[in-house]
Amino acid sequence: MILAVASGKGGTGKTTVSVNLARSLDVETQLLDCDVEEPNGYLFLDGEAGGSQEVTIPVPLVDAALCDGCNACGKFCEYNAIVSFGKIPVLFPEMCHGCGGCMKVCPRRAIQETDKRIGVIETMRSGNITLDYGLLDVGVAMAPPLIRAVKKRIRNNTPVILDAPPGTSCPVIAALRDVDFVLLVTEPTPFGLHDLRLAVDVTREMAIPFGVVINRLGIGDERTHDFCRKENIPILMEIPDDRGIAEAYSRGELIVDAYPEYRNLFQQLFGRILRLAQQNVTDDTSERRSNAR
């Protein structure tokens, strides 16, 4: 089971939900922080560091002796990361997506790959949780390859909770690809609803089953509930706007540690998610069966 926790914008409680949920499960659980520009799940966990791994992408390196300045590389590159003006090409490594295309199209085989570091993956053990988090190097704008590297750590035999980056752009798509269920965390305010709608659109487009957690219930208005009702979106949990919870958060403490009764609530949340994800799988197979007929 791979569950992604996402939100249309930052600061809605996405990380709070991911970490508390991971802590509440009675089994060994894998937590992946894919918010690689600003990973913060580790701040809520005490544990021992379990190592760190550099992540690189292949960027081109041109051999001036072989290059004849034909610009086949520049014509190919969609990202304007390489361009030749009749001489050895100019490279913009910060724009290179590491697709390897320029190396393949170069008629003179003048381009080789060299590794460019984009960030690291840190590992941490804390109780039942193994946390892997990506950390993008400063000045690097290439989040998706690092997110994919973090996701390569996914093990099959444990539940996986993936903290997705906020928003709806490429990094989010990279994080949500191939997950079984998406939990969208929102606040019940007009701004929250606006961002929730965008996140719902992306999730629907990717055809992943999803549900909503409303955080800080009590602020804002009823419109988020109305929206979910109308759109047939299940609200799987509501977390009240509570001073004690906010204080625990500001101390870097988990809700489930400060208020043990929440453990049960998060377990129920996970139970609902499993049922919905399961349902979706059965729907899919019955659909496939009826199509086959």
Partner 1 sequence: MKIAFTTSGNGLDAPLDSRFGRAPNFLVYDLNNETFEIVDNQQNLNAAQGAGIQSAQAVARTGASAVVTGHCGPKAFRALTAAGITIYTTEAATVAAALADYQAGALVETAAADVEGHWA
Binding residues for ligand SF4, per CB under 6 A? Answer: 59-60, 62, 67-73, 76-77, 79, 81-82, 84, 89, 96-102, 106, 108, 110-111
Q: Tell me how far apart the alpha carbons of residues 169 and 37 are, in angstroms, rounded to a whole number.
A: 13
Nearer to ligand SF4, 169 or 279 (CB): 169
**Least CB distance to partner 1 at residue 112 (A):** 20
Nearer to ligand SF4, 88 or 265 (CB): 88
Q: Which does 87 bind (CB under 5 to 8 A by kind): partner 1, ligand SF4, none?
A: partner 1
Q: Which does 76 bind (CB under 5 to 8 A by kind): partner 1, ligand SF4, none?
A: ligand SF4
Q: Which does 99 bind (CB under 5 to 8 A by kind): ligand SF4, partner 1, none?
A: ligand SF4
Q: Which does 202 bind (CB under 5 to 8 A by kind): ligand SF4, partner 1, none?
A: none
Q: Which does 227 bind (CB under 5 to 8 A by kind): partner 1, ligand SF4, none?
A: none
Q: Which does 90 bind (CB under 5 to 8 A by kind): partner 1, ligand SF4, none?
A: partner 1
CA angle centred on 145, ends 108 and 134, rounded to 5° = 145
Q: Tell me how far apart the alpha carbons of residues 183 and 17 are, in angstroms, rounded to a whole number.
A: 9
Nearer to partner 1, 85 or 191 (CB): 85
Q: Tell me how far apart the alpha carbons of residues 135 and 54 are, in angstroms, rounded to a whole number.
A: 10
Nearer to ligand SF4, 62 or 131 (CB): 62
Give the DSSP per-residue string, 263-280: HHHHHHHHHHHHHHHHHH
Q: Tell me how far apart the alpha carbons of residues 247 and 64 are, in angstroms, rounded to a whole number.
A: 60
**Least CB distance to partner 1 at residue 90 (A):** 4
Nearer to partner 1, 71 or 158 (CB): 71
- Bridge partners, 2 (sequence order): 160
Q: Where are the beta strands (DSSP E) in 152-209?
A: 160-163, 181-186
Contacts to partner 1 by CB under 8 A = 74, 79-81, 83, 85, 87, 90, 92, 95
Residue listed under structure tokens 């990094």: 171
Nearer to partner 1, 94 or 287 (CB): 94
DSSP 3-state assignment of 111? strand
Q: Which does 83 bind (CB under 5 to 8 A by kind): partner 1, ligand SF4, none?
A: partner 1
Nearer to ligand SF4, 89 or 167 (CB): 89
Check if the beta carbon of residue 19 is closer than 8 Å to that of residue 195. no
Burial of 117 (0-12, 13-18, 19+ CB in 10 A): exposed
Give the DSSP per-residue string, 237-258: EEEE--HHHHHHHHTT--HHHH
Q: Tell me how far apart the alpha carbons of residues 12 and 20 are, in angstroms, rounded to a whole number.
A: 14
